[in-house]
Amino acid sequence: MAKNDTPWQTLDSKVMYQNPWMKVHEDKVLMPSGKEGIYGFIDSKPGVFVIALTGDGKIYIIESFRYPTQKWQWELPTGGIEKDTSPLESAKHELAEELGMTAEKWTHVNTFGPSSNGFMNDVQDVFVAEGLHRSEEGSSEEFEAIRAVKAVTIDEIMTMIKNGSLINGQSLAALMQFIAWRDY
């Protein structure tokens, strides 16, 4: 195979750390320069992001506390895809759990990934949920801390993006895919 088709060669691969949500690999590699080195990255579950649209075109966002940054952030409803669960089933699960809602119509918008070019190999599916109904109850996971939920117009989201109130990369990526899907 031509050098440009596989610019890195894997000489050896080891799992250096794992927990139920991630594996950290360290591979012994030949780098594009031909020099020997190592490459570490995370292997994690795929995930879903949900754009839950109200009848008047508003999008639900959630203020959630994230452990790695130790910060509250505004984000789209999201979660990992459990084994033997489809992306769509996972999206329905997150809508029920985080917003306490069901939807009449689901549309697959796109798939993005990796979330980090250098460190991850994940894949995230983005869905639009329309025809929203409040379900009996929202149940919160033990891993989750949500302190606010609101529905905002796309103009309000653009303002939040511009003023730095919505900055997490994955929600920005999902919104970019939504806008490209809707407008183009």
Binding residues for a second copy restricted to 42-81, rule: CB under 8 A: 42, 44, 64-70, 73, 75, 78, 80
Query: Which residue has tokens 């409040």?
Result: 134
| Closest alpha carbon to 125 in 140, 106, 143 | 106
- Residue 98 has φ and ψ, to the nearest 5°, of -90, -30
Distance in Å, CB of 133 to a second copy, minimum:
27
Site for a second copy (CB under 8 A): how many residues?
A: 76
23 contacts: CB under 8 Å, gap ≥ 6 = 15, 17, 42, 43, 44
Q: Show contacts with a second copy in window 6-35 (CB under 8 A).
A: 6-8, 16-17, 19, 21-22, 24, 26-27, 29, 31-33, 35
Distance in Å, CB of 28 to a second copy, minimum:
12
Are 144 and 64 spatial neighbours (Cβ–Cβ below 8 Å)? Answer: yes
Q: Show contacts with a second copy in window 79-108 (CB under 8 A).
A: 80
Binding residue for a second copy, selected from 54, 85, 110, 165, defined by CB under 8 A: 110
